[in-house]
């Protein structure tokens, strides 16, 4: 560059003109290339526009053909296969549809029984693709390139299935197209000469070609056909079948319901047309540029002397005088007009401008001082935490908001290394963030915990920048409350999701237990009747007793499943939890490990609870056995404690699935052990059904415990850490009144019934065994498998005294059947039977005046107890 500037001005101008010419030539060549690319895009656009027009025209044509064939399917003559009449109709339609070459009607065996064009002999089209596709899919289907059997000309046919009243294909209506009409479409468009148009079927067979027409029926080149399969539409440059380089565009044509295109449309424009279109502007531009460069050179020689060289000489002489200190010289007097004249005027005002600049600099320094004071006021009054620190981690300046946030005075924080105040778990991440800040110059969002004066930690969210040097500017906010609120929300969402999962499993468990009870009914009943009828000395007695015992254990399992579902309460009343625990103490000591010591700590004035004592015993037993298993073979203590609590919402938030537990007075059962404890993963699954950490067991104990507690509108709080034991606090709503004990009715083994009894149950096994039991008791028996049959039998037999009615039945359940029976006879005696418990059934049928209830599976003795008071 220095060497260039040392040349004479005229030489520099000539070099610049030459460089300008070279640059202009580059621009022209670049523009020509861009124009050539634009011409290629135009050719591709024209090709794609033609392909799209054919695609759209074909879709309109097929839509009309499908509508025509659909209309034909409703013609009475077509339905009756009146060949003569249908031939006449098809011929008339063919005259009105010049784009269709033929219309056919084909029977399911492939025989063409009607044609718009007369057939010389019977023809079968069973092997045609459009026929087979229409039969298989039951919808409008496409064919492929074929030589028509009626016209003996190339055609593309489409089949439409005609369905009978049963939805089966009665016939296939066919429309055939020769596709020659696209010659007119091509001629009507203003396209370059030698533009080609091809239509191909799904196999690549040419259906239509304008140049040359001899390609019809031949296979397309595999590479060209493969290029059209990549996507629905596109363009590419390649040699066509005749070896001519073309810019091609294609469009796939689909039929509704078909996953592959039935036809491909490809249009092409010769590359030679593009090249000619691009070369003419290039030659014209080059010629014009040569003339301009020559004229510019001549003008530059003339202007350089008159407008530049003479004025520069005068300007140089005036500048030498000014540099010598003569500020009175006026250069502009010798250099008139133009930019050089402006330069002379600038020299004239230099001295005056220097004094103005000095004054302006003083003013700017004063303004900067004022702005600094404003920034200080903003820094000190901002509610955000603002700081200036160095990269070594020391605070250099802090605003007063830090004192409010952390509780330390500012003089204690300034000079402090902030890494010493960061929570130990966040030190490494904070150091990494400082490294990122040094490398990238900014950190937009980073959160760590800072020590507060009271010993706690506050979460601080940072936005820091490092413009240059070792200085860091930071802006932060205390987000502790925001993080705690988000964690609380997340915990609530997790609890709600878990509750929904347990609720769904509870519904499933209740349904399984209900059906299980029906099965056990047949097993237990048959075993009981067999024991009554068999000789007491028979060796089968022992087997029957074992069957009865196994059935009883299975019934206990079903009750556990009902308890988990929250539907397991039987007899609810005021219960003294202290008395219940004292009665169970001996049994609990026998149930736990020999190395475990059980301790009772009972509140002296404990409030009573409204509960089912039997299920509360199960809760206590499950918790104590779980505590014993946590102790393992080692020695340890199991503490059982009762107390009265007044629970507010903050305390109930700790409960397992506490969303529906209200505030108020609660009786607390606390079971604590000194065993192995649980980690967070085990605690989250402890109440899941079938979850167990033991090699044996079903995993239903704690799940049933949760179900019982939920059924009593209570809650469970679990506290446990590995190797630190576990504490289960079960909360039951307190009740005010004392427990009322009811005396159980005395059973009478020899009791006999009389009269007619109607047994209603949809389970055949239950009906069979219950019938035998009722006949054993002496009843005349009528049976019904559903509610409607029961109503008919009850209406036809006025002597029916008692109805033993199943609650859960299809079509008409027990509740609806009970209402209809009471309409017929309001004083009818109905004993309801169900696999669910009496509590659930009586709540469901409240106000329906039941005579009694018996829970499945039941024995003969339970049947006597239910029927004796009313039969």
> Which residue did the predictor score with more confidence, 789 or 6?
789
- Domain identity same for 666 and 787: no
CATH number at residue 832: 3.40.50.2300
The residue-averaged pLDDT of 140-166 equals 81
Average pLDDT, the chain: 80
Q: What is the pLDDT of residues 709-725, one digit of tens each?
A: 887 888 898 998 888 88
853 and 714 both lie in a single domain: no
Q: Is 737's pLDDT higher than 50? A: no
Which of 253, 274, 295 marks a domain boundary? 274
Q: Is 33's pLDDT higher than 80? A: no
In a domain? residue 263: yes
Lowest mean pLDDT among 153-167, 298-312, 463-477, 677-691: 298-312
Same domain, 678 and 610: yes
Query: Is there a domain that residue 607 lies in?
Result: yes
- Is the same domain home to 730 and 790? no
Q: Is residue 191 part of a domain?
A: yes
pLDDT top residue among 644 and 557: 644
Confidence of residue 800 (pLDDT cuts 50, 70, 90): very high
Cα–Cα dist 359/210, whole Å: 86
Q: What is the pLDDT of residue 171?
A: 92
600-628: average pLDDT: 87
Phi, psi at 54, each rounded to 5°: -65, -40
- Do 586 and 730 share a domain, yes or no? yes
Whether residue 584 sits in one domain with residue 722: yes
Query: Nearest-5° angle of CA 21, CA 24, CA 28?
Result: 135
Reduce the DSSP state of residue 805 to 3 states and report it: strand
Give the mean model confidence (pLDDT) for residues 135-160: 81
pLDDT at res. 10 = 67
Q: Mean pLDDT across the stretch 790-798? A: 93
- Residues 727 and 775 placed together within one structural domain of the fold: no
Mean pLDDT of 163-192: 80
- β-pairing verdict for 829-834 and 206-209: unpaired
Q: Which of 123, 120, 92, 121 is nearest to 105 (CA)?
A: 123
* Residue 551 predicted with pLDDT over 60: yes
Mean pLDDT of 741-767: 73
* Same domain (yes/no): 652, 792: no
- The confidence score (pLDDT) of residue 478 equals 87
Give the end of a domain, one of 208, 242, 274.
274
The pair of three-digit structure tokens given for residue 131, joined into one six-digit string: 């026929």
List pLDDT tens digits, range 819-845. 999 999 999 999 999 877 676 777 778
* DSSP labels, 142-198: E---EE-TTT-SEEEEEEEEEE-TTS-EEEEEEEEE--TTHHHHHHHS---TT-EEE
> What range does the domain containing 705 cover?
569-735
CATH of the domain at 185: 3.30.450.20
Residue 740 confidence (pLDDT): 39
Q: Is the confidence at residue 782, as pLDDT, over 90?
A: yes
Question: In terms of domains, do 794 and 709 share one?
Answer: no
Domain count, the chain: 4
Confidence of residue 354 (pLDDT cuts 50, 70, 90): very low
Which carries the bigger pLDDT value, residue 439 or residue 491?
A: 439
309 vs 827, residue with greater confidence: 827
In a domain, 22, yes or no: no
Asked if residue 212 has a cis previous peptide bond (ω within 30° of 0), the answer is yes
Q: Write out pLDDT tens, residues 39-67.
A: 778 878 888 888 888 888 878 888 888 88
Domain closes at, from 450, 478, 506: 478
What is the average per-residue pLDDT within 385-397?
84
Residue 372's pLDDT band, with cuts at 50, 70 and 90, is: low
**Least confident span in 122-136, 143-157, 204-218:** 143-157
The predicted structure's pLDDT at residue 671: 93
Is there a single domain that holds both residue 595 and residue 706?
yes
* pLDDT exceeds 80 at position 349: no
Q: Are residues 580 and 462 in the same domain?
A: no
Give 376's pLDDT tier (boundaries 50, 70, 90): confident
Is 74 part of a structural domain of the chain? no
- CATH code of 673's domain: 3.30.565.10
State pLDDT tens for residues 419-465.
Answer: 888 899 988 888 888 888 888 888 878 888 988 888 888 888 888 88
pLDDT at 506: 57
The pTM is what?
0.34
Q: What is the reported pLDDT for 325? A: 60
What's the pLDDT tens digit per position in 806-820? 988 888 989 999 999
Q: How confident is the model over 532-558, as a mean pLDDT?
A: 76
The strand ranges marked E within 178-299 are 196-201, 206-209, 233-239, 245-253, 263-270
Is 333 within the bounds of a domain? no
Answer yes or no: is pLDDT of 608 > 80: yes
Mean predicted confidence (pLDDT) in 556-564: 60
Residue 344 vs residues 306, 656, 856: alpha-carbon distances, Å: 17, 91, 117
DSSP strand pairing (263-270 vs 196-201): antiparallel
For residues 54-69, b (16+ Cβ closer than 10 Å) or e, as one string?
Answer: bbeebeebbeebbebb
Q: Provide the sign of the torsion angle of the four alpha carbons 243, 244, 247, 252, taken in this order.
A: negative
**516 belongs to a structural domain:** no
pLDDT at residue 565 tops 70 = no
Residues 774 and 684 placed together within one structural domain of the fold: no
In a domain, 393, yes or no: yes
Residue 377, SS3 per DSSP: helix
* % of the chain residues with pLDDT over 90: 14
Is pLDDT of 351 > 60? Answer: no
CA distance 403 to 383: 11
């Amino acid at each position: 560059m220095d060497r260039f500037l040392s040349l004479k001005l005229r030489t520099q101008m000539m070099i610049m003109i030459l460089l300008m010419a070279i640059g202009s030539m580059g621009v022209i060549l670049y523009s020509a290339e861009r124009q050539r690319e634009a011409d290629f895009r135009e050719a591709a656009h024209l090709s794609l526009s033609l392909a799209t027009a054919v695609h759209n025209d074909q879709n309109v044509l097929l839509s009309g053909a499908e509508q025509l064939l659909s209309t034909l399917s409703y013609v009475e003559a077509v339905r009756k296969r009146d060949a003569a009449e249908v031939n006449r109709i098809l011929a008339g339609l063919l005259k009105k549809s010049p784009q269709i070459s033929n219309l056919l009607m084909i029977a399911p065996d492939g025989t063409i029984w009607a044609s718009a064009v007369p057939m010389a002999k019977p023809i079968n089209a069973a092997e045609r693709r459009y026929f087979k596709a229409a039969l298989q899919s039951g919808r409008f289907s496409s064919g492929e390139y074929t030589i028509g059997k009626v016209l003996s000309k190339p055609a593309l046919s489409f089949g439409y299935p005609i369905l009978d009243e049963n939805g089966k294909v009665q016939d296939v209506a066919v429309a055939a197209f020769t596709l020659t009409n696209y010659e007119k479409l091509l001629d009507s468009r203003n396209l370059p000469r030698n533009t080609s148009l091809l239509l191909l079927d799904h196999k690549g067979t040419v259906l239509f070609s304008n140049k040359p027409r001899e390609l019809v029926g031949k296979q397309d080149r595999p590479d060209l056909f493969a290029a059209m399969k990549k996507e629905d539409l596109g363009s590419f440059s390649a040699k066509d079948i005749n070896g001519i380089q073309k810019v091609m565009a294609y469009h796939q044509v689909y039929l509704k319901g078909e996953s592959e295109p039935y036809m491909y449309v490809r249009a092409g424009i010769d590359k030679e047309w593009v090249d000619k279109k691009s070369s003419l502007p290039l030659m014209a531009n080059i010629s014009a540029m040569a003339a301009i460069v020559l004229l510019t050179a001549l003008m530059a020689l003339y202007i350089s002397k008159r407008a530049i060289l003479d004025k520069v000489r005068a300007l140089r002489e005036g500048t030498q005088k000014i540099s010598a200190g003569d500020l009175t010289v006026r250069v502009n007097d010798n250099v008139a007009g133009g930019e050089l004249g402006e330069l002379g005027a600038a020299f004239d005002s230099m001295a005056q401008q220097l004094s103005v600049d000095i004054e302006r600099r003083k003013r700017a320094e004063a303004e900067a001082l004022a702005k600094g004071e404003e920034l200080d006021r903003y820094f000190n009054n901002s509610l955000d935490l603002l700081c200036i620190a160095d990269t070594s981690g020391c605070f250099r300046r802090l605003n007063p908001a830090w004192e409010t946030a952390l509780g330390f005075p500012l003089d204690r924080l300034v000079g402090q290394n902030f890494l010493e105040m960061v929570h130990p778990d966040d030190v490494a991440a904070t150091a990494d963030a400082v490294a990122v800040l040094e490398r990238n110059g900014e950190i937009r969002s980073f959160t760590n915990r800072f020590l507060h004066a009271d010993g706690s930690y506050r979460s601080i969210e940072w936005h820091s920048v490092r413009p240059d040097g070792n200085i860091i500017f930071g802006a932060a906010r205390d987000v502790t409350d925001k993080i705690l609120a988000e964690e609380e929300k997340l915990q609530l969402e997790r609890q709600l999701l878990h509750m929904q999962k347990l609720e769904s499993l509870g519904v499933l468990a209740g349904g399984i237990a209900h059906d299980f009870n029906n099965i056990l009914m047949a097993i237990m009943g048959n075993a009981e009747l067999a024991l009554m009828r068999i000789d007491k000395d028979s060796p089968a007695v022992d087997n029957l007793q074992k069957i009865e015992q196994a059935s009883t254990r299975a019934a206990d399992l079903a009750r556990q499943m009902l308890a988990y579902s929250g539907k397991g309460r039987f007899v609810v009343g005021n219960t003294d939890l202290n008395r219940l625990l004292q009665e169970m103490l001996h049994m609990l000591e026998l149930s736990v490990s020999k190395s475990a010591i059980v301790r009772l700590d009972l509140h002296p004035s404990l409030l009573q609870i409204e509960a089912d004592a039997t299920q509360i015993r199960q809760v206590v037993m499950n918790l104590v056995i779980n505590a014993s298993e946590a102790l393992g073979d080692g020695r340890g203590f199991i503490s059982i404690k009762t107390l009265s609590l007044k629970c507010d919402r903050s305390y109930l938030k700790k409960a397992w699935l506490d969303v529906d537990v209200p505030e108020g007075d609660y009786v607390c059962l606390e079971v604590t052990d000194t065993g192995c404890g649980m980690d967070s993963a085990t605690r989250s699954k402890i109440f899941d059904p079938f979850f167990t950490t033991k090699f044996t067991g079903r995993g239903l104990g704690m799940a049933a415990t949760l179900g019982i507690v939920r059924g009593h509108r209570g809650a469970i709080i679990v506290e446990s850490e590995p190797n630190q034991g576990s504490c289960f606090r079960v909360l039951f709503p307190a009740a005010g009144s004392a427990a009322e004990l009811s005396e159980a009715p005395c059973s009478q083994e020899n009791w006999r019934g009389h009269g007619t009894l109607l047994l209603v149950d949809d389970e055949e096994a239950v009906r069979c065994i219950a019938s035998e039991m009722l006949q054993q008791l002496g009843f005349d028996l009528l049976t019904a498998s559903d509610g409607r049959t029961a109503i008919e039998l009850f209406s036809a037999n006025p002597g029916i005294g008692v109805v033993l009615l199943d609650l859960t039945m299809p079509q008409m359940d027990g509740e609806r059947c009970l209402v209809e029976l009471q309409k017929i006879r309001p004083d009818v005696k109905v004993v309801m039977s169900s696999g669910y418990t009496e509590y659930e059934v009586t709540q469901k049928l409240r106000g329906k005046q039941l005579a009694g209830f018996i829970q499945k599976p039941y024995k003969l003795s339970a049947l006597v107890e239910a029927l004796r008071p009313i039969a």
